[in-house]
Amino acid sequence: MRFPIDFAMSNAKHMVQQRSKGRKRYPTVLMLEPLYTCNLACLGCSVERHTGKLKDRLPVDKCLEAARVTEAPTVALCGGEPTLYPELGELLQGLFDMGKHVILCTNALLLDKKLFPVVPPNKKLFVNVHLDGMKETHDYVCNRDGVFDKAIAMVKESKERGYLTLTNTTVFKETKMDEVEELCEVLTEIGVDGILVSPGYEYESVEKDIFLTQNQIHEKFKRVRQLAKKYKLTATPTFLDFAAGLIELKCSPWSTVNYTPMGWKGPCYLIGENFYDDFETFWNSVDWDYWETRQNRKCLNCKMHSGFEHSAVQAASKSLKGMAQLAAWHVSG
């Protein structure tokens, strides 16, 4: 199976429930960023996401309320670096008690100090380690020597201790696809439970010219489609077809709503045109019809997984053939 059955079933159940309520749009993942504090300053990260003060973090009760109100079955816990969140154990337990699956998105530097001694392996928890290439590339992207070696050591330890362990690789302009394959080989030998390879987003606040144009994304993701035949990639085949420029999709920014120390971020995980104090105001204020069509110039080169994976699943679910392909992909992992 590509994902544990419990995870796949909870997502399928959510889709059926939301559709039976007549909802055309609904969140599937809460991108929860309880803090904008980080122990790294990676080149591809927007400045505000790693320069926040710890004292400005969200309290646990606000995080849990956000998880309740969205109804999304999955919480991607990011930031900032979530292992720096002092109440991490309490937050995770609260989310598990609500039946949520949690994807802990981390640079892995503090897993041995802040996660392993505090939260035991749990079938609702995925440890998701950021790895943008082999040693030279990853240390360059993370702006610090030694990050790759530590992250790989933590991925191994995470697996040995019995945590469900994923990795997340962002593809930039300079990314060599042979190197991505080498990384997939290393991670497969370790036995990771899934590898996400996705295109980077060109934040206005990032000055370095490291991001891809649409054509460059298409070329690189034609290769990623090939890698998907060999390695356990977690992006669906329809998303990879889209990333390779073979099909078009509308965006689903509402599927991955983002709660941050500044409030609900709209219209999407990438663009903070406005921040809202409460979910209802956020949900009713963003012009979803407009943002779905990708006509804004900030959407021009965007093929982000957070915006399009839900669209890909919806597109595949429209036909019997697509559903059969999706089911075959799930069981082939």
* Cα distance between residue 72 and residue 7, in whole Å: 12
Residue of 31, 242, 291, 311 interacting with ligand SF4 (CB under 6 A): 291
Tell me: does residue 141 bind ligand SF4 (CB under 6 A). Answer: no
Tell me: does residue 267 bind ligand SF4 (CB under 6 A). Answer: yes
With 0-12 / 13-18 / 19 or more C-beta atoms within 10 angstroms meaning exposed / middle / buried, residue 113 is exposed
Tell me: does residue 298 bind ligand SF4 (CB under 6 A). Answer: yes
Tell me: does residue 32 bind ligand SF4 (CB under 6 A). Answer: no
* Cα distance between residue 147 and residue 128, in whole Å: 15
Residue of 147, 304, 315, 316 interacting with ligand SF4 (CB under 6 A): 304
Tell me: does residue 271 bind ligand SF4 (CB under 6 A). Answer: yes
194 touches 2 (CB < 8 A): yes
Tell me: does residue 299 bind ligand SF4 (CB under 6 A). Answer: yes
Question: Residue 118: helix, strand or coil by DSSP?
Answer: coil
Tell me: does residue 294 bind ligand SF4 (CB under 6 A). Answer: yes
Locate all alpha helices (DSSP H) within 33-176, ordered by sequence: 60-70, 88-97, 135-142, 147-161
Residue of 63, 228, 270, 286 interacting with ligand SF4 (CB under 6 A): 270
Task: Print the binding letters for residues 43-72 with ligand SF4: x by CB under 6 A, - otherwise.
Answer: ------------------------------
123 touches 10 (CB < 8 A): no
Residue of 66, 240, 302, 313 interacting with ligand SF4 (CB under 6 A): 302
* Cα-to-chain-centroid distance, residue 76: 7
* Neighbouring residues of 197: CB distance < 8 A, sequence distance ≥ 6: 169, 171, 180, 184, 224, 227, 233, 235
Q: Which is nearer to ligand SF4, 8 or 196 (CB)?
A: 196
Task: Print the binding letters for residues 305-324 with ligand SF4: x by CB under 6 A, - otherwise.
Answer: --x-----------------
Minimum Å gap between C-beta 296 and ligand SF4 is 6
Minimum Å gap between C-beta 256 and ligand SF4 is 8
CA atoms within 13 A on the CB side of 87: 17
Residues contributing to the site for ligand SF4 (CB under 6 A): 251, 253, 267-268, 270-271, 291, 294, 298-299, 302, 304, 307
